Structure 1
């Protein structure tokens, strides 16, 4: 049996129509197949490869750590240099009130930890999230999600969660003194790149303060430079109580984190002690890769280039079938009006060597979220292929 047959026979499937792109190697913005295929990865493995595939500095950090140690102990007991240096580097990018990092393995785990933390710290049980929010697929994170299509088959889910509409000021009145936390994507991702304005975020922060509610901002997709700032909340002059990150954090390695202040995080130490446990959270190899990723973003000034690269995409992607482009930096949605129009374009673009995608809760729009290292020449090449795909699909 070849690899494709083994994939279909022995790996659990999540759809009846997987992409079935076979990858032999990845480098920079490209994926390479076993028969000479070459693809531009315009979705970064869904927001993961912000510094590109196999960045040399990430590989060097991984190799250096491999020569020292791998897993040693469950999280939080041993002093491990990759973890401590990463935590310090993350805190250095943040306001002083976000000074305590809990390292986990993924975005869903970061959500789970944050939900527990908010309940434990406030003593409250009710949560609020947004319609068409996506926070992950585990039971708690799915409960906080905002799309019933993805939830109904798994009910009963976590009780006490209600939903508001992202960006709607009037809905903020639903936040009250029984609300432990509001969990919200700073930029809504799977809803098709929806961006609320500064007035909304300022009002959200005020309402949480008035009611003693913790504000959890999910930047699992939007963080690590994707929007043109290291953290997306910096665009809106607010600070969350708990910040979530993963995806682009690891330079291609699995890692996530929830970040708060030391007082809030401290509730996990007592009643009960070990209030949140992870065996592999902050794995030293992943932590080393993540630290390298932070340094690459800063040293190579990738974040300061995001706006210009996004503007270039928008200037080149002009076609009668394109209804509009929504974006915050290189977190982009190209609207085509229907899935029936979009899907053949995505399929043809892949045949032409450009990988794009749609969104879970917005299937009329094309996802574009390339590695931040993408060059102007590569943007031109990718856009030419997309425009050709539109004409030929």
Structure 2
């Protein structure tokens, strides 16, 4: 069948007609257990009723208003983000890439410096600046000269930070590299980055697009490390599936982003804000986050016990409900087989299976997931052995 879309996505042969909680149903009425969650987006599961009610209510009021007008719901959502982080002010946009664009612009304007340090295997987006910030050649190929002001260091290499001088505007990183293989940062590495930023007069930007909004068992992933970033970026899980991004910054940066310095027509759209408000109220609840941590411990332990010792597996790692299974083989065919067993997961690079269940996932659903993974691994092992 001819498509009217650019083929920018390697689409699977699955067409979803409806989704609820941790499950999606395709047009052939096949049900799948979904451990993708829209790539860490539907943190409250698909079609959460309270989010749906809030969106429906806002739809009866107004759908869009220029940011020239005061919109109280923006203030309410910003307050929730500020109270759950070390920031003081929020800029709303539509995606993670846009949030990171805003962070890059703010860092350069505020410091008057241009160089931004990021890390190999990082992922920060696909706009020109965020593609330049991303430490992966495959994302950058074919687009000509990149922005020249990015320097890439090796992730978790403490010594590399000693080379940096005072010409650096900011150091930007993910505390768990999601697309780069589900690689958590070492505590010593994060502490050294914070110390280096202080020493060289650089801002610290934490990209929480995938790790934020409860995904790691805290409101934001950096909170596992006892540091205070200057800028935090967020998106994905922020709107339970509605497009919304946010850059959260320290009060010392407010003077730099005055009227006319940055903007977004749809940033802070009231429909997205209605979804974000309920999402944050539910996820930032202490009892909810405690339960995420319990589920994380349960799932990691079961995976370690049942899958971790499998001859094809190098290890299981992660933070909260962002989990990677590193394999000795390419994982693409394994992911295809898991899908044939009605279980949806993602790769994170060629050798890592990435699990991103909704934060509302049940223990029974986690048991189904582990059992399915074990069954498929055992079949893969038999077929490898047969060769």
TM over 0.5: yes
Give the gaps of 5 or more residues in structure 1.
none
Matched, 1:40 2:26: no
2:4 to 5, 10, 16: 10
TM-score by length of 1: 0.92
Q: How does 1:317-332 map to 2 (within 5 A)?
A: 317=303, 318-319=306-307, 320=310, 321-332=312-323
Q: Deviations over 1:208-244 (max 9, x none)?
A: 0111100100000000111111111111000100000
Q: How much has 1:315 moved relative to structure 2?
A: 3.1
TM-score by length of 2: 0.94
Alpha-carbon separation, structure 2, partners of 1:167 and 1:328? 16
Q: How much has 1:184 moved relative to structure 2?
A: 0.7
Indicate if the aligned counterparts of 1:132 and 1:145 stay in contact, CA closer than 8 A: yes
Q: How much has 1:383 moved relative to structure 2?
A: 1.5
Alpha-carbon separation, structure 1, partners of 2:201 and 2:288? 37
Matched, 1:311 2:304: no
Indicate if the aligned counterparts of 2:216 and 2:320 stay in contact, CA closer than 8 A: yes
Say which SS state the counterpart of residue 141 (structure 1) adopts: helix
The total of aligned residue pairs comes to: 375
Alpha-carbon separation, structure 2, partners of 1:100 and 1:349? 43
Alpha-carbon separation, structure 1, partners of 2:276 and 2:164? 35
Q: Deviations over 1:171-191 (max 9, x none)?
A: 112332111111111211111
Alpha-carbon separation, structure 2, partners of 1:344 and 1:155? 32
RMSD of aligned Cα (Å): 1.4
Q: How much has 1:313 moved relative to structure 2?
A: 2.2
Q: How much has 1:338 moved relative to structure 2?
A: 2.2
1:215 to 187, 190, 204: 204
Alpha-carbon separation, structure 1, partners of 2:274 and 2:144? 38
1:108 to 69, 75, 97: 97
Counterpart in the other structure of 2:71: 80
Indicate if the aligned counterparts of 1:228 and 1:307 stay in contact, CA closer than 8 A: yes
Counterpart in the other structure of 1:350: 339
Alpha-carbon separation, structure 2, partners of 1:150 and 1:80? 37
Q: Deviations over 1:73-112 (max 9, x none)?
A: 1x3x2111221110011111123xx110000000000011
Q: How much has 1:363 moved relative to structure 2?
A: 1.2
Indicate if the aligned counterparts of 1:348 and 1:392 stay in contact, CA closer than 8 A: no
Say which SS state the counterpart of residue 324 (structure 2) adopts: strand
Indicate if the aligned counterparts of 2:84 and 2:284 stay in contact, CA closer than 8 A: no
Give the gaps of 5 or more residues in structure 2.
381-387
Counterpart in the other structure of 2:60: 67
Q: How does 1:1-393 map to 2 (within 5 A)?
A: 5=1, 9-15=3-9, 17-73=10-66, 75=67, 77-95=68-86, 98-269=87-258, 273-299=259-285, 301-317=287-303, 318-319=306-307, 320=310, 321-339=312-330, 342-359=331-348, 362-393=349-380
Indicate if the aligned counterparts of 1:193 and 1:331 stay in contact, CA closer than 8 A: yes
Q: Deviations over 1:114-143 (max 9, x none)?
A: 100001000011111001110000100000
Indicate if the aligned counterparts of 2:123 and 2:134 stay in contact, CA closer than 8 A: yes
